[in-house]
Amino acid sequence: MGKGFFLSKPVGVICMILGAGALATIIALSVVYSQEKAKNDNQVLPTDGGTTTKAPATTAVPSNEPWDKYRLPKSLVPRWYNVTLWPRLLPDETGLYIFTGESTVEFECVVETDLILIHSNKLNHTNLARLTSVDSGVKAPSIKSSLPQIETQYLVLKLDGKLVKGHMYHLHTKFTGELADDLGGFYRSEYFEDGVKKVVATTQMQPTDARKAFPCFDEPAMKAVFHITLIHDIGTVALSNGKQQETSMLNLGKQNVQKTVFEPTEKMSTYLLAFIVSDFAHINNTVDEVLIRIFARKSAIDAGQGQYALNKTGPILKFFEGYYSSKYPLPKSDQIALPDFNAGAMENWGLITYRETALLYDESFSSNSNKERIATIIAHELAHMWFGNLVTLRWWNDLWLNEGFASYVEYLGADHAEPDWNIKDLIVLNDVHRVFAVDALASSHPLSSKEEDIQKPAQISELFDAISYSKGASVLRMLSDFLSERVFTQGLTSYLNTFAFGNAVYTDLWEHLQMAVDNNTDIKLPDTVNNIMNTWVLQMGFPVVTIDTKTGTVTQKHFLLDPDSTVTVESPFNYEWIVPIKWMKTEVHQTDIQWLQAKTDIVDKMKTTGPTDWVLANINVLGYYRVNYDKDNWDRLLAVLSTKHNSIPAINRAQLVDDAFNLARAKIIPTVMALKTTKYLNLERDYMPWKSALNNLDFFYLMFDRSEVYGPMQKYLMKQVSPLFNFYKTLTANWTKIPPGHLDQYNQQNAISMACRTGLEECTTLTKTLFKNWMDTGSQIHPNLRSTVYCNAIAAGGATEWEFAWSEFQKATIASEAEKLRSALSCTKQPWLLNRYLEYTLNSTLIRKQDATSTIVYIASNVAGQSLAWDFVRARWTYIFNEYGGGSFSFSNLINGVTKRFSSEYELQQLKQFKADNSEVGFGSGTLALDQSIERTISNIKWITENKQNVLSWFETEAKLNEPML
């Protein structure tokens, strides 16, 4: 799945605007993974972290019958299915939307048994299942009883005799299911077109919902060939993984319908199936005989919103064919944008499904970050066509390899599609820094899980977290770098060729990479791929590498954000890693990788010799670790930043800032030292260092925007950001043009949002004027600037501005525009507007249910809305909990979001009271988040006590320096 599954776009947007969200380090303590259903379409660190806890291992079940176990017995292996489904796009007389279906599965009996277990969830079986034997010589036993198992999601068939090993059988079933709006299995999505309500029947199977569409052996290693047929209303379009093979008319009862038969699929896993019936339109092209089609609502296709995706899909597919040295395995690649979709996107083989914001692009509404999201998410899903779909991990415990891999190579694919963007660098902000925050907690977990620990659907779902996606991506990038891309892809190709149409485990990949290493004598590793990678995969966390440039001593230590936390989980490697260190000395890149294989080592070359000599390690942040130095070297690096910052690569300037702030949080260096890394920013024009600084300064805003530190801090930051603001003012001819570079466009947005945030009057005037012109004359604001301008103008304005934006929100026809407005509406400073907006969030005709949490969290991010949102959540807890208890409503995001500013004794007491008052109602998926919020509040109180005075006087001094003489 695209990483939208766990990232929070909404929160991302607001951070950018208010600058108040989520630096990695705050999240760090706030961490509960939650399935917030959107994707960060912004280059912002999201505020929800990744999961840090694991569900307990295999839950004990009272009895030990095969159907009480969550894993299928190994007795039956499917070969092919023949599935016919008929979704009804109109409700039946009881108001229910349903689908009917029948299915035949041919399976082989590999271990003699008198029991058939096949997954089936929420299906009503309308006929008794029928079992027949394929070989005429063998008679099939008859079915004694047929029982659904609700908890383990099986249809259990007891037979009056044994199935014979080595023989083939057919099991035929007929069933009815609900086409619910629950975003899982076969479900329905609704939208309005020209005032008419339209219904789409669509699917999301991953990880365990194919069993909600038809009875199947629903485990990724149970690959089979699928013959799919869809029955649908005349005039509608039916799509599935294979190409449409034939279409005919059918009279069923009194109804004339259409029947579409699809070409049989390749041998594949059930979680990659897709069935869709809609009246969508499409555009298409053909690239090297592969048919590429983009489907969406008719009005979106007519408006040309699919064109960008169509333009990029072919080149990205070609790129991956080259990268994997393997032809795209299917004759077609369909991509479809759905109005209701849980994740960001889903890599169904041959029919990829997307959220609308992840596929549809409109020049006049979409910002550069909207566009970037489309390119990267297409690349992510297309990467899975081989890695994941052609070769599939045997069980979900290896999910990290599947998603980590796609999350790494999505940058390579997108870079190929948009070579001018420098997008590959962004993995450092979006994945490495982001997951550092989560993985620096004592409650983090290793990438790899044991197969037996992952059994229940909920345990599987929990694996879709920041560790799997972002840490997976980070360590694979590190691996590809120290092997070299040439050797990495050689191993990859051999892995794909060996396991094509089958399954593998992650060590199979290491084996094939090792073979590639052995065939390339120029690659020298200190140990095997397996042994090196085990230190990154089998233990949680990552090291901070400390280099003492006076002695050349290099040491590593498990980096913990909270130095007082205790690690209770033992590691097979005692929290030591085999660390590849790329480094430079006083502007000269060292060509060899320095490997650190023990707790400590002496590297003579890393000794500095003169007062201007410096060492910088982890060049381009290719390694998954933080770096600390002796104080002298820090001082020299700071001196280089303020005199010749370009002699340090931009990615490393971003890293110096991020490392320093996090080392300070961990009390390894003084907080003032971290603040000093922001002093050179008045000279900085590059995006990455600025973004890194703003992410880290967010924590200071959260802690101090209600205290006396705020004034001097604002004054200092205004001084730092003004040159950047003026730089962009000139570059864009007084804000009339947009800078050509993709990252420069982001930094222009940073310049405006930060300048306005510090209260720079020229900035406030600019955003007010642009917004007023839009209100008065309809003159459009450039999409790149909309989020920032909307938010600041609404913050500076009153009811008129708010009402205008609200009506625009209700009118918006493209999802990305609605998103921008929905977050900006939370920026007002008027308590009554904020309170009314809070009320709207619980009215699903005004704010869709899936957007309720993030809207409340936006409001809490606004310093004026913080306490209102907290009061609101406290007062309505029972209602919210009962009304929104199921499905996609994320209580952990909500609790983390409304409490992230908490930093006083009083707030701590309130939080504890809240916990006590509602213990009967419960906190559902927010239970852990609540405890973590309490922990975080305690840690914030401590941090403020220890740092407030220093920070205040530092800002006061710095704000006064070089003040123009009056």
Among 36, 48, 178, 658, binds ligand NAG (CB under 6 A): 178
The sheet with strand 196-204 has its strands ordered as 185-193, 196-204, 275-278, 237-240
Among 34, 35, 47, 84, binds ligand NAG (CB under 6 A): 84
Q: How far apart are CA 664 and CA 798, in angstroms?
A: 40
Instruction: Give every CB contact of residue 523 below 8 A, 6+ residues apart in sequence.
Output: 483, 484, 487, 517
User: Which pairing describes strands 502-504 and 391-393: parallel, antiparallel, or unpaired?
Assistant: parallel
The residues pairing with 268 across neighbouring beta strands, listed in sequence order, are 224
Is residue 124 within the footprint of ligand NAG (CB under 6 A)?
A: yes
Is residue 98 within the footprint of ligand NAG (CB under 6 A)?
A: yes
The sheet with strand 143-149 has its strands ordered as 113-119, 154-163, 143-149
Closest distance of CB 43 from ligand NAG, Å: 20
Of the candidate spans 138-146, 303-311, 611-619, 865-873, the one that interacts with ligand NAG by CB under 6 A turns out to be 303-311
**Sign of the C-alpha dihedral computed for residues 20, 22, 25 and 28 taken in this order:** positive
Mark residues 311-330: x for contact with ligand NAG by CB under 6 A, - for none: x-------------------
Mark residues 934-963: x for contact with ligand NAG by CB under 6 A, - for none: ------------------------------
* Full DSSP string of 237-253: EEEESSPEEEEEEEEET
Closest distance of CB 264 from ligand NAG, Å: 7
Tell me which of 266, 381, 418, 684 is the catalytic residue. 381
Closest distance of CB 709 from ligand NAG, Å: 46
Instruction: Give every CB contact of residue 628 below 8 A, 6+ residues apart in sequence.
Output: 544, 545, 546, 547, 659, 663, 668, 669
Q: Which is nearer to ligand NAG, 102 or 451 (CB)?
A: 102
Is residue 100 within the footprint of ligand NAG (CB under 6 A)?
A: no
Amino acid at 492: L
Closest distance of CB 207 from ligand NAG, Å: 23
Is residue 247 within the footprint of ligand NAG (CB under 6 A)?
A: no
What is the footprint of ligand NAG within residues 639-658 (CB under 6 A)? none
Closest distance of CB 368 from ligand NAG, Å: 13
**Sign of the C-alpha dihedral computed for residues 438, 442, 448 and 453 taken in this order:** negative
Amino acid at 156: V
Is residue 308 within the footprint of ligand NAG (CB under 6 A)?
A: yes
Which alpha helices (H) appear in 287-330, and where do they start and end? 298-302, 307-324
Bond prior to 740 in cis (omega within 30° of 0)? no
Closest distance of CB 417 from ligand NAG, Å: 10
Q: Tell me how far CA of residue 888 lies from CA of 271, 613, 843, in angstroms.
A: 20, 54, 16
Among 4, 50, 177, 623, binds ligand NAG (CB under 6 A): 177
Closest distance of CB 312 from ligand NAG, Å: 8
Q: How far apart are CA 329 and CA 59, in angstroms?
A: 39
Is residue 497 within the footprint of ligand NAG (CB under 6 A)?
A: no
Is residue 334 within the footprint of ligand NAG (CB under 6 A)?
A: no
Of the candidate spans 174-182, 568-576, 822-830, 856-864, the one that interacts with ligand NAG by CB under 6 A turns out to be 174-182
Q: Which is nearer to ligand NAG, 306 or 388 (CB)?
A: 306
Of the candidate spans 13-21, 175-183, 394-402, 776-784, the one that interacts with ligand NAG by CB under 6 A turns out to be 175-183
Q: Which is nearer to ligand NAG, 271 or 361 (CB)?
A: 361
Is residue 245 within the footprint of ligand NAG (CB under 6 A)?
A: no
User: Which pairing describes strands 583-585 and 588-589: parallel, antiparallel, or unpaired?
Assistant: antiparallel
Q: How far apart are CA 213 and CA 34, in angstroms?
A: 25
Of the candidate spans 64-72, 173-181, 449-457, 940-948, the one that interacts with ligand NAG by CB under 6 A turns out to be 173-181
Q: Which is nearer to ligand NAG, 77 or 291 (CB)?
A: 291
Q: Which is nearer to ligand NAG, 178 or 562 (CB)?
A: 178
Is residue 146 within the footprint of ligand NAG (CB under 6 A)?
A: no
Q: How far apart are CA 314 and CA 295, in angstroms?
A: 15
Residue from 545, 544, 567 nearest 554 by CA: 545
Is residue 284 within the footprint of ligand NAG (CB under 6 A)?
A: yes
Q: Which is nearer to ligand NAG, 145 or 285 (CB)?
A: 285
Q: Which is nearer to ligand NAG, 84 or 120 (CB)?
A: 84
Strand, coil or helix: what is 65? coil
Q: Which residue has the tokens 């609404």?
A: 794
Q: Which is nearer to ligand NAG, 84 or 430 (CB)?
A: 84
What is the footprint of ligand NAG within residues 348-367 (CB under 6 A)? 361
Among 176, 493, 555, 707, binds ligand NAG (CB under 6 A): 176
Is residue 270 within the footprint of ligand NAG (CB under 6 A)?
A: no
| 866-883 vs 905-917: helix crossing angle, rounded to 10 | 10
Q: Which residue has the tokens 């199977």?
A: 205
Is residue 186 within the footprint of ligand NAG (CB under 6 A)?
A: no
- Residues for the chain: how many in total? 966
Among 212, 227, 355, 512, binds ligand NAG (CB under 6 A): 227
Q: How far apart are CA 104 and CA 121, in angstroms?
A: 17
Closest distance of CB 279 from ligand NAG, Å: 16
Contact 102, 172 (CB under 8 A): yes
Among 307, 507, 555, 620, binds ligand NAG (CB under 6 A): 307
Contact 453, 445 (CB under 8 A): no
Q: Which is nearer to ligand NAG, 186 or 700 (CB)?
A: 186
- Give catalytic status of residue 381 as yes or no: yes
Of the candidate spans 305-313, 417-425, 844-852, 933-941, the one that interacts with ligand NAG by CB under 6 A turns out to be 305-313
* Full DSSP string of 639-689: HHHHHHGGGS-HHHHHHHHHHHHHHHHTTSS-HHHHHHTTGGGGG---HHH
Q: How far apart are CA 379 and CA 629, in angstroms?
A: 38
Q: Is 384 annotated as a binding residue?
A: yes
Which alpha helices (H) appear in 98-176, and where do they start and end? none
Closest distance of CB 811 from ligand NAG, Å: 23
Closest distance of CB 919 from ligand NAG, Å: 34
| 783-796 vs 815-824: helix crossing angle, rounded to 10 | 30
Contact 385, 347 (CB under 8 A): yes
Size of the site for ligand NAG (CB under 6 A): 15
Q: How far apart are CA 120 and CA 212, in angstroms?
A: 6
Q: Which is nearer to ligand NAG, 257 or 291 (CB)?
A: 291
Q: Which is nearer to ligand NAG, 104 or 553 (CB)?
A: 104
Closest distance of CB 797 from ligand NAG, Å: 34
Mark residues 3-42: x for contact with ligand NAG by CB under 6 A, - for none: ----------------------------------------
Q: Which is nearer to ligand NAG, 231 or 437 (CB)?
A: 231
| 891-899 vs 866-883: helix crossing angle, rounded to 10 | 160
Q: Tell me how far CA of residue 47 lies from CA of 167, 233, 483, 861, in angstroms.
A: 54, 44, 33, 11
Is residue 189 within the footprint of ligand NAG (CB under 6 A)?
A: no
Closest distance of CB 125 from ligand NAG, Å: 9
Interacting residues with ligand NAG (CB under 6 A): 82, 84, 98, 102, 124, 176-178, 227, 284, 291, 307-308, 311, 361
Summarize the annotated binding site for Zn(2+) as residue ranges. Answer: 380, 384, 403
Summarize the annotated binding site as residue ranges. Answer: 380, 384, 403
Q: Which residues are designated catalytic?
A: 381
